[in-house]
Amino acid sequence: MILMEIYSKPTAYNHEIGRCKDSYGLREVYLNPSHIVSMRHNEELNSKSKSVVLLEGLDKNVIFSQITISSTLGTEFVNVVGSPRSLANKIAKASL
């Protein structure tokens, strides 16, 4: 299943604002639906996207979710575009 991942880009310290400025990118990510443990709203990204522009051209009303994946190394987290409900529907359609 292919989803759109939002990820943090490496940043440098910005002396004007006194911290590192957040910078994000989008990329396709393939997830094996049978390795998904859970999905939930990513409240931090959802809140940020309402107050600042995370990515130029991205709708302020977009919803982000965090997916927990089981791997040989333990669990991993992936932040993706879409609500848990829309992602669950996509998984259901992919498994038909």
**Residue 67: Cβ within 10 Å count:** 23
Over residues 55-85, the pLDDT tens digits come to: 888 888 899 999 999 988 899 999 999 999 9
Residue 86: partners with Cβ closer than 8 Å, 6 or more residues away: 63
pTM: 0.84
User: For the purposes of burial, counting CB atoms within 10 Å of the CB of 39, is it exposed (0-12), middle (13-18) or buried (19 or more)?
Assistant: buried
Domain boundaries, the chain: 2-94
Residue-wise pLDDT tens digits, 4-35: 999 988 777 777 767 777 789 999 999 999 99
pLDDT bin (cut points 50, 70, 90) of residue 53 is confident
User: What's residue 65's pLDDT?
Assistant: 98
